[in-house]
Structure 1
Amino acid sequence: MDGFEKYYRKNWEQRLEVLIKQAKLNKQQVELLKINAQDPNLGETMIENFITQYSLPEGLALNLVVNDKEYLVPMVTEEPSVIAAASHGAGIVKRVGGFRAKIHERLMLGQVVCENVSDAVALQTYFKENESSLLDCANQAHPSIVKRGGGARWLRSRVLAADLVSLDLAVDVQEAMGANMLNTMLEAVAQKIISECNQDILMSILSNYATECLVSATCQIPVNALAKNGISGEKIAAKLAQASRLAQLDPYRAATHNKGIMNGIDAAVLASGNDWRAIEAGAHAYAAKDGQYRGLSQWYVEGEVLKGELTLPLPLGSVGGSISIVPLVKVNHDLLNFKGAKELETVIVSLGLAQNLAALYALVTEGIQKGHMSLQLKSLAVSVGAKDTEIAQVVQLLKQQGLRDSKSAKEILKQLRKE
């Protein structure tokens, strides 16, 4: 694009000037970018072609009790009612003892993918016979993690096609999420395979499908604690279990079911400084682990108790990457008050189950819109220009008249101002 040649070599001020010179933005719009930039030096450190910081609201989910400890959970999201729902679901479970959560294992996986393989059996034999030296090679590429008690743990090979074989490496990354660490190890192993086997390598890269980094949350709720608005707890529990069953049977429902879970998880992962895109990708892959995409959580009734459970691949870090350089992340870690990546994982998987409980509870009782609507109407009022002193009145009149569109909101605001 004309005017943007070697844009990455320009400093921040020069990049903004280009936007004006090329008539992409006017001076007033560029001034808005400057106002929101907050810390240009940090932005330049984190990404390429930095122009500004894009802000999202952050709030606290309350009531979350996991393994007998209560947490304040920072969440970053733009979607109305997500934090309210997380707090509501957590509150229901808090009153009956809280969530129980456990780590199954915490290893990250990466792949060295061999291509143009002429004899897959022979290559797999080489991997098996040289497992110890391949693991040593990986550890030598990142000795500092070995000193901290981590490092490469095991290998496995998988034939993906007649000419493609994946060598999978499992690594204990300790407190980091470990992407860069793992990629360094994988590239070292790839070079060893090239030199010893004269084997072509397609790529060496971590996998975000972290099946060796699973964490589970469970809860038990007496059905009588679920009663609401004249509906018995027994009936609501049965409907919750049926809604869970629906998400196991129907991928169309499962996608929305899981999106609700990830509403909470993504928001908390983002606030913690971790890579929410990696977590999202791994979770959805795990939802299809048996060949059909299904709901990630399950709810069922046993006797007089509703039981819920959620297991996810959740490779989070407490150090490294943006975690170490974004000041607000440190504040969020202090708010959350956790010790280490494993505890963080137990908190966030439990938050996901709380989010899911609140969504299903609303769906099978009053419907999802009632909880959403107040915040959505508030956003609508702001979008049509209502000031702080006018928002509540606009929302109230929209509710009274059963209106939900911007044209009606504008008319109501116009009438208010005339009065």
Structure 2
Amino acid sequence: MSINSRIPGLRDHTPGDRLALVAEGAGLEPGDLSALQPEAGLSLAAADHMIENVVGMIGVPVGVATNFTIDGRDRLIPMATEEPSVVAAASNAARMARVHGGFTTSYTGDVMIAQIQVLDAVDPHGTRFALLEAAPELLALANEQDPMLVSLGGGAFDISVRVLPTRAGVQVILHLHVDVRDAMGANAVNTMAEAIAPRVAELAGTRTLLRILTNKAELRLTRARAVFDAELLGGAQVVDDIVAASAFAEADPYRAATHNKGIMNGITAVVLATGNDTRAVGAACHSHAARSGRYAALSQFEKDAEGNLVGTLEVPLAVGLVGGATRAHPTAQAAVRMLGVQTARELAGVIAAVGLAQNLAACRALAAEGIQRGHMTLHARTIAASAGAEVHEVAAVAARIVADRRIRIEHAREVLAELRGEGGA
């Protein structure tokens, strides 16, 4: 399947025409993406089977980011977000990287960790060694729980054990390492942990308490890199200023929190669109940002020998294509079809690339013009709609309040009244 992520003027079309253009660019039939239309997406009956006490649903806009080339292949990126400027910013950043080959990614593997907490061990260090000695037995017992995963080349493959001082006394923590393949993996590793916990307790001569995965997915890292063209960014001074802004975020946790929020604007939007767990991914990314003991930037920007900007990003991404909402939610299935990804590794690479693109766009806006100019210009359409403008009136009201540099709802109401001739005479 051939994908063309360059769709110039996509924003100038109606939502229906955009969907048709995106389907064509993704090499799909229009019907393949029909679940992205509200009337054809998740039904209330289906939602009632996904969570408890269902009373309704909340709609989140799904936009498509264009211009992305990732690992030599074009991708059209579905992004679910309520925040203006996110989709446009990612698309613009991808255009600046496209001329230098786009984004390249690497991946450490599909490994998740389950933790089993051992309490009241009389000899914690001896208990640690006893558990390590029993590793073959414990791994075999874990793999009995999921023969399908093992048949696909995955399953439990390693055990590590820590002696952990806590305010409640010394505890022994066993880590079960599991290759979950193309799943997010929570159900698989939790089932294995529950299954081996009684034997762990026997070997330790005491009791276990918690047995659950950790969302600190440090063995499931994805890295993305791109070269952003200096001229398209706005010149050498902009490049230098982005490098300085990046250094600020690396050194200062106050700045890093907002810097990383920009990254998560992109990451969370794709994770949500594909039906993956936004909370798990967010917890993993922020814990990774604090892995040194101090919260810091997840990305870095540097200048290369030609004066272009090199961006790099490393994040833990526990995402999958099988199980959970990715399979149960028709809109998520349509989003995956649009992407054309076949493995969790490919999906993670896309998500990391979007996070880096979003981060670059925010840093460029801050360094070149201030964040509010572009953001508020796009936000003007939301303000116009909130003021009561009908679909055919939104563009005119938005353009006027931007030109007046008064992007506020009360001014939008004044402009709308003027356009409708309601001002009186």
TM range, smaller chain: 0.7 to 0.9
- Residue in 1 that maps onto 2:389: 386
Q: CA deviation at 1:38?
A: 5.7
> In the alignment, what sits opposite 1:19?
none
Does residue 46 (structure 1) correspond to residue 53 (structure 2)? The answer is no
Match of residue 201 from structure 2: 194
Aligned to 2:238: 236
User: Counterpart amino acid of 2:205?
Assistant: N
1:329 is the counterpart of 2:336: no
Q: 1:81 aligns with which of 75, 78, 85?
A: 85
- Which of 291, 299, 302 is the equivalent residue of 2:293? 291
Structure 2 unaligned residues grouped into runs of 5+: 1-38
SS of 1:418's equivalent in the other structure is coil
Structure 1 vs Structure 2 CA RMSD: 1.7
Structure 1 residue 389, shift from structure 2 partner: 2.9
Compute the displacement of 1:196 (Å). Answer: 3.4
Q: In 1, Cα distance between the equivalents of 2:300 and 2:42?
A: 43
Say yes or no: does 1:365 pair with 2:372.
no
- Mapped to 1, the partners of 2:277 and 2:253 lie a distance apart of 26
Residue number among 390, 397, 401 corresponding to 1:398 in the alignment: 401
Look up the match of 1:349.
352
Once residues 352 and 82 of structure 1 are traced to their aligned partners in structure 2, the CA distance between those partners, rounded to angstroms, is 11
Query: Contact 2:102/2:226 (CA < 8 Å) preserved in 1?
Result: yes
Give the counterpart letter for 2:105 in structure 1.
Answer: A
**Per-residue displacement from partner, 1:196-240 (whole Å, max 9, x unpaired)?**
3332112000011100001101112353443x2xxxx22111111
Task: Say if 2:62 is the partner of 1:61.
Answer: no
Q: Residue 22 of structure 1 aligns with which residue?
A: none
Measured in 1, the distance between the counterparts of 2:340 and 2:40 equals 29
SS of aligned partner of 2:114: strand
Assess if the C-alpha contact under 8 Å between 1:152 and 1:171 holds in 2. Answer: yes
> What are the superposed Cα offsets for residues 313-357 of structure 1, whole Å, 9 maximum, x if unpaired?
111111111111111222111110012111111111111111111
CA apart distance, 1:412? 2.4
Q: How many angstroms apart in 2 are the aligned matches of 1:144 and 1:38?
A: 29
Segment of structure 1 superposing worse, 369-378 or 356-365: 369-378
Deviations 1:55-106 (A, max 9, x none): 1000111111111101001111110010001101111101111111111232
- Name the SS for the 2:269 alignment partner: helix
Partner Cα distance (1:374, 1:401) in 2: 11
Residue identity opposite 1:276 in structure 2: T
Preserved contact between residue 213 and residue 315 of structure 1 (Cα < 8 Å): yes
Contact 1:265 1:351 in 2 (8 A): yes
SS at match of 2:359: helix
User: Are the aligned partners of 2:97 and 2:229 in contact in 1 as well (CA < 8 Å)?
Assistant: no
Q: How many angstroms apart in 2 are the aligned matches of 1:286 and 1:353?
A: 16
Cα offset for 1:301? 1.5
Contact 1:118 1:163 in 2 (8 A): no
CA distance in 1, matches of 2:228, 2:416: 45
Q: Output aligned runs, 1:151-166, within 5 Å.
A: 151-161=155-165, 162-166=169-173
- Kept after mapping to 2: 8 A contact 1:36/1:53: no
Q: Secondary structure at the match of 1:215?
A: strand
Report the Cα offset of residue 36 of structure 1. 11
Measure the CA separation in 2 of the matches of 1:392 and 1:386. Answer: 9
- Taking the aligned partners of 1:38 and 1:349, their CA distance within structure 2 comes to 27
User: What is the CA–CA distance in structure 2 between the aligned matches of 1:401 and 1:177, rounded to whole Å?
Assistant: 48
- Aligned twin of 1:139: 143
The residue type equivalent to 2:414 in the other structure is E
- Structure 1 position 177, deviation (Å): 0.7
Do the aligned residues in 2 keep the contact of 1:57 with 1:77 (CA within 8 Å)? Answer: yes
Inter-partner Cα distance in structure 2 for 1:146 and 1:321: 20
Report the Cα distance in structure 1 between the residues aligned to 2:314 and 2:118, rounded to whole angstroms: 32
Contact 2:116-2:174 within 8 A present in 1 as well: yes
Q: Distance in 2 between matches of 1:407 and 1:169?
A: 58
More deviation, 112-121/351-360: 112-121
2:171 maps to amino acid: L
AA partner of residue 297 (structure 1): S
CA–CA distance in 2 between the matches of 1:394 and 1:366? 24
Deviation at 1:413, TM superposition (A): 2.1
Instruction: Give the direction of change, closer, same or farther, for the CA distance of 1:385–1:36 in structure 2 (3 Å limit).
Output: farther
Equivalent in the alignment of 2:269:
267
Contact in 2 for aligned 1:36/1:54 (Cα 8 Å): no
How far apart are the structure 1 equivalents of 2:273 and 2:76? Answer: 12
The correspondence for 1:203, drawn from 207, 210, 214, is 210
CA distance in 1 between partners of 2:229 and 2:275 (Å)? 36
Give TM-score scaled by structure 2 length.
0.86
Moved more, 405-414 or 235-244: 405-414
Gap runs ≥5 in structure 1 = 1-34
2:124 aligns with: 120
Match among 162, 184, 187 for residue 191 of structure 2: 184
Deviation at 1:360, TM superposition (A): 0.8
Query: What number of residue pairs does the alignment pair up?
Result: 380
TM-aligned CA distance change 1:412 to 1:36, over 3 Å = farther
Q: Which amino acid aligns with 1:138?
A: A
